[in-house]
Chains A and B, each alone.
Chain A
Amino acid sequence: MPVHKASCPSCGAPVDFRSSAALLVVCAHCRSTLLRKDMNLETIGRMADLLKDASPLQLGTEGKYQGKPFTVAGRVQMDYGEGTWNEWVLAYDWEHHAWLGEAQGRYMVTEEIPVKETLPALEGLAPGAEVVLNGARFEVIDIQDARCVGGEGELPQRIQPGFETTVVDLACPDGRFATLDYGDDPPRVYLGRQVPFEALGFKGLRGIEGW
């Protein structure tokens, strides 16, 4: 796992990107959004500031999911009006990645998957409705309008701060969770599970004063 060392084309600060899946890197120093083109970085804008939140995670936090160690390489912060949640990028051995949805002490590990079915239109969905993903029946448990606040670290896809989307959370009796992101057409589908905090074996968490 080679660490690619580069410097920020905007401010010259050193930028490390280690994940081969990273497409975008946010300069930790000047918050320039850098698009990766092979070994070169190209500034495409400046990333909006993230909102302060209560997350105990931070870039570099390590953990384990289903026996595989990961490092938190990046995050996207979303705002749903009454608060924010994070989608952390979990880099496994710096080649594969998963997403860790995190809000209010709840953790959901998902990976983007292709689905055979044509997904229903957002207008037809309500809590309790059924959605079939690759033959498995899921139930809609939550529909949330959200706005992308911004991101940090290494990201596997381009994000647009301020971009508004609607996400639909689905659950299946076998314990799987799925999220449909209607910000793209067709919607992106993320499949995974909600995982108890203790099961993720975090190391290098952000300290929370008083706790």
Chain B
Amino acid sequence: MAEARSFACPSCGSALAIRGLENTALVVCGQCGAAIDAKDPNLKVLAKYRSNAKYQPLIPLGSRGKLRGADLECIGFLRREVVIERVPYRWSEYLLFNPYTGFRWLTESQGHWALVETVRELPQVAGAARHGGKTYKHFQKAWADVVYVLGEFPWRVTVGEEASIDDYVCPPFVLSREKSKDETVWSHGEHLEPREVWEGFKITGLPPGRKGVGACQPNPHRGLGTLFLVFAGLALLVQIATASLSQKKRVFSGSYDYAAQSENAKVTEPFELTGRTSNVGIRISTNLNNAWAYFSLALINEKTGKALDFGRSVSYYHGYDDGHWSEGSARDEVYLGNIQAGIYSLRIEPESDPGKTFRYGVEVWRDVPRWNLFWLALLLLALPALVQWIRWYRFESARWEESDHPWGGGDDDE
């Protein structure tokens, strides 16, 4: 373990250690709350704080751990408080020391942990803060008080010491500006999973549960948007490839007159469907106007005589009351799937109101690329992405709920 200069508390006689070497300016006795000037050869007591330890540090002072690859010894503990709309919020700060790389802070608030160090480069602030190529959004401004001190510090920290803190977040990072009367200090923190802290300091038992969403806690609901785009892109490629291989060939076209009194059943000239087994599109266009027609249709295989029967109704109505309206269409289009190559004909038998006459045309198309499956696939892919987005949104609004800028609260983002 570390070499620690030890001495007896001048106030209560408890054994105290100095682990921060000559950096330590102040030691607060855990037994009696005496704040001792570590720079004074006579160990002058500067103040005396509450004798009953109200807060027990979760990481014992003097324990050494490893966080993010750095060896660090816990030497000091602070409880700080902000009051927002008359509600006090308290959090803990653990001072971690390494003689080569200096000090770090480990902060804990409602079970959320972050490893913090002072920044080397001054961030640029214009509403949001820019630092190291990232943009940090303003989260909260508050006046923080020190309410409890334990252990050692490189400056003479006092209970009641005040600073104004502005937090800016870019999860998993947080950037804070602390302004006291003679200093402005920027620090940069990174979210830690409680497990990392517990493993790093080899603490037994379980870390305290997290309440709510931490200011810089990474949102776990992410990534599906990209995944969705990837799969949608793949589906599009497949669709385009399929479409480019399609014949999309008109194999028959004819037009006929319908008159109620005459024999209206027609059988077309045979036409040939070629290529792979694929779809056949039947397009019917009419000059129906405020009228309807029903077409009984059959695609007949000339060789086997097998008929595929189906019916289509076409109706088109329009008029003018309280504005123009229309219903239906004078055209229709239908696709029959899985039709083998061969010689076919089409039987068409329209019906309509008695006495009605109209003209209609029929076209038969072979192997037409279809987009309906593609849209369906896109919809199915979009569903999980949407669900994920809702989760992401709920997580973010829970985070910002605790900030000065709650989402949907009508508060602008500065």
Contacts and interface: CB of A to CB of B under 8 A. Distances in A.
Given A82-B155, A82-B156, A172-B122, A104 B39 contact: no
Nearest to A54: B21
B412 interface: no
Interface size class of B (residues with CB under 8 A): 20 to 34
Contacts of B98: 105, 211
Contact of B182 (A51, A84, A127, A171): A127
Nearest to A57: B100
Nearest to B98: A105
B353 to A, nearest CB: 81
Given A105-B103, A172-B122, A54 B23 contact: yes
B165 to A, nearest CB: 14
A38 B119 CA distance: 44
B147 to A, nearest CB: 22
Majority secondary structure of chain B interface residues (helix, strand, loop or mixed): loop
B3 interface: yes
Contacts of A197: 100-102
Interface in A158-203: 171-175, 193-198
Nearest to A173: B124
A209 interface: yes
Nearest to A51: B22
Contacts of B214: none
A128 B179 contact: yes
Contacts of A195: 120
A210 B22 contact: no
A59 interface: no
Interface string B98-125: 1111110000000000000010111110
Interface string B130-171: 100000000000000000000000111000000000000000
B2 interface: yes
Contact of B99 (A142, A172, A211): A211
Contact of B22 (A53, A193, A211): A53
Which of the listed residues A83, A105, A198 has the most CB atoms from chain B within 10 Å of its own CB? A105
B71 interface: yes
B1 interface: yes
A205 B98 CA distance: 14
Contacts of A208: 3, 21, 99-100
B183 A54 contact: no
Contacts of A53: 21-22
Contacts of B20: 54
B374 to A, nearest CB: 49
B368 interface: no
A209 B3 contact: yes
B184 interface: yes
Interface in B1-50: 1-4, 20-23, 25, 39
Contacts of B120: 175, 193-196
A139 interface: yes
A42 to B, nearest CB: 33
Which of B3, B100, B123, B179 has the most CB atoms of chain A within a 10 A radius of its CB? B100
Contacts of A104: 23, 102-103, 154
A105 B122 contact: no
A208 B22 CA distance: 12
A74 to B, nearest CB: 20
A189 B25 CA distance: 29
A52 B21 CA distance: 10
Nearest to A169: B183
Interface of B: 1-4, 20-23, 25, 39, 71, 98-103, 118, 120-124, 130, 154-156, 179, 182-185
25 contacts: A54-B22, A56-B99, A82-B154, A84-B22, A104-B23, A104-B103, A104-B154, A105-B99, A105-B101, A106-B118, A127-B183, A140-B184, A141-B122, A141-B183, A141-B184, A141-B185, A143-B182, A174-B121, A175-B120, A195-B120, A197-B101, A205-B100, A208-B21, A210-B3, A211-B98
